[in-house]
Structure 1
Amino acid sequence: MSEPTGVIHDIGYQRYTGLRLGRRHVFGALYLHGVRTAFGLGRSAKAKIFPWLVVGIVIMVAAAVTAISSQIGESIMTYAQFADAMSWLVIFFVAVAAPELVSRDLRSGVLPLYFSRPLPHADYPLAKLLALVTALWLLLGAPQLVMFLGGAFTADGMRAVWDEVLDLLPGLLYAGLWAVVFAAVGLLVASLTGKRAFAAGGIVAVFLMTTPIVGVLSILPSQTANQLAGLASPSTLVQGIGVWTMRDQLITSPEAAGPDIGAFGPAYALAAVALVAACVALLLARYRKVAAR
């Protein structure tokens, strides 16, 4: 009886001989893909509907503010006030974008493929966080540029244009503060589940259900409790920092009084730093656990 023999078939597989770009390029690819994902780019038309609906709304509001201001000859809303006014839309944008960035990967089980290569476990969540921060900053910053262009074209002389620039810069920084705080909280919540609906609901709950707590604390008989009430919600926390650092931009009339923070402005800033640091630390711990599986 003859011995069984094996046959090797050449089906064309070849080893990769191209340039290996390394960790920096992997991080950059994750970041760029994350920014595109937040706006639904490179995905189906259905995935683009909500992000671009939000973008369209904020751009239209900015255009309307610019048109009205040019007609009456004075500003009806500062750049910082625009960020405050659009914050509720940012909440829903985060609730949709954050699960798209991380929950899909958790559910589909592709993370072991990411971590099978020499990719540090911290790079994945940090790239996703930076992508979400960028997307939120663009969401609030691009309409402010629309307002700036309208103000610059109707300004009387270069001095007025320069004054407009000086008003714009704090507004862009304030938009960055909104982006960092909301992205850190939203991405942490989204990373806890692979189900996008649960992640979106959890994000909305964290932002909206903390608002009544602020309301309860703000009516207590203690003035100190009233002034520290804003620490209980991410939204009022950011607004408190804005009132402390750019009061002239946010409080332009008695109707736009803003939260009463008293002399606790530094406490609001420290609380924001602690909140973001805690969210990032928990996010890194979460993915350290995922990578260890």
Structure 2
Amino acid sequence: MSDATGVIHDIGYQRYTGPRLGRRQVFGALYGHGVRTVFGLGRSAKAKIFPWLVVAVVTVVAAGLTAVRSQIGEVVMTYAQFADAMSWLVIFFVAVAAPELVSRDLRSGVLPLYFSRPLPRGDYALAKLLALGTALWLLLGGPQLVMFLGAAFTTSRGLRGVWDELLDLLPGLLYAGLWAVVFASIGLLVASLTGKRAFAAGGIVAVFLMTAPVVGVLSIMPSRTVNELAFLASPSTLVGGVGNWALGDRLTQGRGGMPIGDFGPVYAVVAVLLVAACVSLLLLRYRKVAAR
């Protein structure tokens, strides 16, 4: 009986000697991948159809407004009003984008793989939220930039006219950021509740659209105070109320705007609390998901 001998095979494995990236790089990678996912970049042509169709629509509208303004010499729609006018498209954009960011991961069960690395549970949720918020801000801010460039190149007041346009653009971009933060917070929270994208999309649309009739009912109540606070009942009108208070004529063009009375600060506080509540619930949701 011969003694058994062992054989060592060298199959080429080597130790990793490169830099070991940490939490910041992981967060950045998740964020960048999230933004690309929203716009379908790096994915199939089918995944690109809807987001880029929406981008094309808002860009064409902005270009059309710019062309009309250059012909008649008057502002047809302010930068802030553009965000309000595109709110319906933003709702459906969120309804498609948010489930792509989180529902797919829930359904495919890859979250344990994410959390097996040195990635805090909250970082995953915050990276996805930041990605969706960035995409929404670009969706509304990009066309505003098109409007600004068109106005800047056609102004008859030289550098002074360009400067005035810039002063109008900046509040519009901030207002677009408010839309992005509120809608992204609500949309991602709803999408995180289910791994089925169709259910998540339907839930997001329902949250935004089913609250609109509540505003209508409250706005015709006999109490003036209830009328002025009615717009708190829907995310869209809540954002509009904050804009109406903060931007004034830049949003309303002297047309009165929403009848919120002296409750503008209340709208701002409620918007902040709504975003804070959605983010807190989102973090809590992923703390429970990761514990499974």
- TM-score, length-normalised on structure 1? 0.96
Q: How does 1:217-232 map to 2 (within 5 A)?
A: 217-232=218-233
Give how far 1:258 is off. 2.7
User: What is the match of residue 253 of structure 2?
Assistant: 252
1:205-258 deviation line (CA, Å, top 9, x unaligned):
00000000000100100111110011110000000001001111121254xx43
Give how far 1:8 is off. 6.3
Q: How does 1:47-196 map to 2 (within 5 A)?
A: 47-156=47-156, 157-196=158-197
Letter in 2 for 1:168: L
Instruction: Mark the runs of 5 or more structure 1 residues left unpaired by the alignment.
Output: none
Structure 2 CA distance for aligned equivalents of residues 113 and 3 of structure 1 = 44
Give how far 1:12 is off. 4.0
The sequence identity of aligned pairs, in percent, is 80
Letter in 1 for 2:166: V
Letter in 1 for 2:60: M
User: What is the match of residue 282 of structure 1?
Assistant: 281
- TM-score, length-normalised on structure 2? 0.96
* 1:7–1:110 Cα change, 3 Å: farther
User: What is the match of residue 203 of structure 2?
Assistant: 202
Aligned residues: 291
Letter in 1 for 2:66: T
User: What is the match of residue 46 of structure 2?
Assistant: 46
Q: Extract structure 1 runs of 4+ deviating beyond 6 A.
A: 1-8
Structure 2 CA distance for aligned equivalents of residues 136 and 214 of structure 1 = 24
Structure 2 CA distance for aligned equivalents of residues 90 and 149 of structure 1 = 23
Give how far 1:292 is off. 1.3
1:21-52 deviation line (CA, Å, top 9, x unaligned):
11100000000000111101010000000000
User: What is the match of residue 273 of structure 1?
Assistant: 272
* 1:151–1:17 Cα change, 3 Å: same
Secondary structure at the aligned position of 1:122 is classed as: helix
Structure 2 CA distance for aligned equivalents of residues 96 and 7 of structure 1 = 56
Aligned-residue Cα RMSD (Å) equals 1.5
